[in-house]
Amino acid sequence: MKEFNILSNVIFDTSLKEYFSQSSYQKAMIVADPMMVKLGFVETISQQFHQAGKRFSLFAEITPDPTIETISQGVWQMNQFQPDCLIAIGGGSAIDTAKGMVLANYKLSPTYQKPTLIAIPSTSGTGSEVTSFTVITNGQDKKPYVDQCLVPDVAILDVELVKTVPPKITADTGMDVLTHALEAYVSTNASVFTDALAEKAVQLVFENLLLVFRQPEDLIARQKMHEASALAGMAFTNSSLGINHSLAHAIGGIHHLSHGRINAILLPKVITYNAQSANGAKYQQLAKHLGLPAETAAEGTANLVLAIELLNEALEIESSFSCFGISEATYQNAASQIAEFALKDDCTKTNPRSVTAASLAAIYQSLY
């Protein structure tokens, strides 16, 4: 049975202040990226609770790529405080931390009544505000957990939050959006519904990402990237992803590089690999949709890959992993472990072309 759901209530064109001034929550726990505290957004929310004589508790111990340890700290604080709403504000790492806290409580008690989960993204990247995914790191093992209980009840898309994202993080997170859309599009679980979302997200990225990278103050382009991120999230929460993400999780867990940047470096190789599959012909469709020459499947795929390589170059994204201070021996020695982690990753199940540990290792090894 195939199904399609968009479960989050998506609020857009509304400021945080406006939303929380009208809300009826009594006790809020805020899980925030420290940058959101520094920029005053947490204060904006907490003031609304203060003024109404309501209580709130802040957890801001967020670090990139949430770990089991951070999540455990958050669970302890949440269970002491017993909030009726859990507000996650920040990038994917803050939102995934809050989701990890919810998941941990469900694992401890299947009858757990979760607080209303409100996700407010401050990067235009992961789409975590609308997905059933959370990505958690345990030692070197970074992997996604997928559960319907993780879909935020409310997603607030407020462009004010992404105004301050520096160009490098804009590039990384924007390429994450593109990877979500592309993997959703060729997933073995893709449908007409996810295709529509993915096509729109890809188009918005090609039209706006470079603009935002070069002109960070362009709020219209920022808004479009923020919307693209949620659209791609809606696509992949339904269709899941593929080996680009399986490899990115494994590489991130071991080499600790930015998630979006890893995805961007892998994309051209992964598309070329997946082109040899039943769904591979869809790259031609997408190339046509982008107005690229695509008379044949081969031409369409080649031009899509070229367009991505040119976009990476313009965004100053490296074309291999040799530029990050990792020695060649360290890099190559990690190949079998990375392939093993990636093979077991849930995202591999919906990759359009079957893989083995050897084929995954070969993709990884070719990128030094």
Ligand X SMILES: NC(=O)c1ccc[n+]([C@@H]2O[C@H](COP(=O)([O-])OP(=O)(O)OC[C@H]3O[C@@H](n4cnc5c(N)ncnc54)[C@H](O)[C@@H]3O)[C@@H](O)[C@H]2O)c1
User: Which stretches of the chain bind ligand X, using CB under 6 A?
Assistant: 33, 35, 64-65, 90-94, 96, 122-123, 125-128, 131, 133-135, 161-162, 164-165, 169, 173, 176, 259-260
Measured between alpha carbons, how far is 163 from 158 in angstroms, rounded to an integer? 10
Structure tokens at 74: 């958050």
Pairing mode, strands 141-146 and 27-32: unpaired
Residue in the shown chain whose Cβ atom is closest to ligand X:
91
Residue in the shown chain whose Cβ atom is closest to Zn ion:
176
Closer residue to ligand X (CB): 224 or 259:
259
Residue 117 contact among ligand X, Zn ion, none, beta carbon within 5 to 8 Å by kind: none
Q: Return the bridge partners of 87, or none.
A: 30, 118
Closer residue to Zn ion (CB): 258 or 279:
258
Residue 155 contact among ligand X, Zn ion, none, beta carbon within 5 to 8 Å by kind: none
Contact status: 96 vs Zn ion (CB under 5 A): no
Measured between alpha carbons, how far is 124 from 108 in angstroms, rounded to an integer? 32
Residue 173 contact among Zn ion, ligand X, none, beta carbon within 5 to 8 Å by kind: ligand X
Q: Give CA separation, 7 vs 19, 41, 144, 263, 273, in Å.
A: 19, 25, 19, 26, 33
Residues 161-190 binding Zn ion (CB under 5 A) are 176
Residue 169 contact among ligand X, Zn ion, none, beta carbon within 5 to 8 Å by kind: ligand X
Closer residue to ligand X (CB): 162 or 287:
162
**CB distance 345 to 232 below 8 Å:** no
Q: Return the bridge partners of 357, or none.
A: none
Pairing mode, strands 141-146 and 133-138: antiparallel
Closer residue to ligand X (CB): 158 or 199:
158
Closer residue to ligand X (CB): 23 or 126:
126
- How far the first Cα of the chain sits from its last, in Å, is 41
Residue 131 contact among ligand X, Zn ion, none, beta carbon within 5 to 8 Å by kind: ligand X
Closest distance of CB 55 from ligand X, Å: 26
Closest distance of CB 361 from ligand X, Å: 21
Angle at 328 between CA 322 and CA 334, to 5 degrees: 105
Closest distance of CB 133 from Zn ion, Å: 9
Closest distance of CB 40 from Zn ion, Å: 28
Chain positions contacting Zn ion, by CB under 5 A:
176
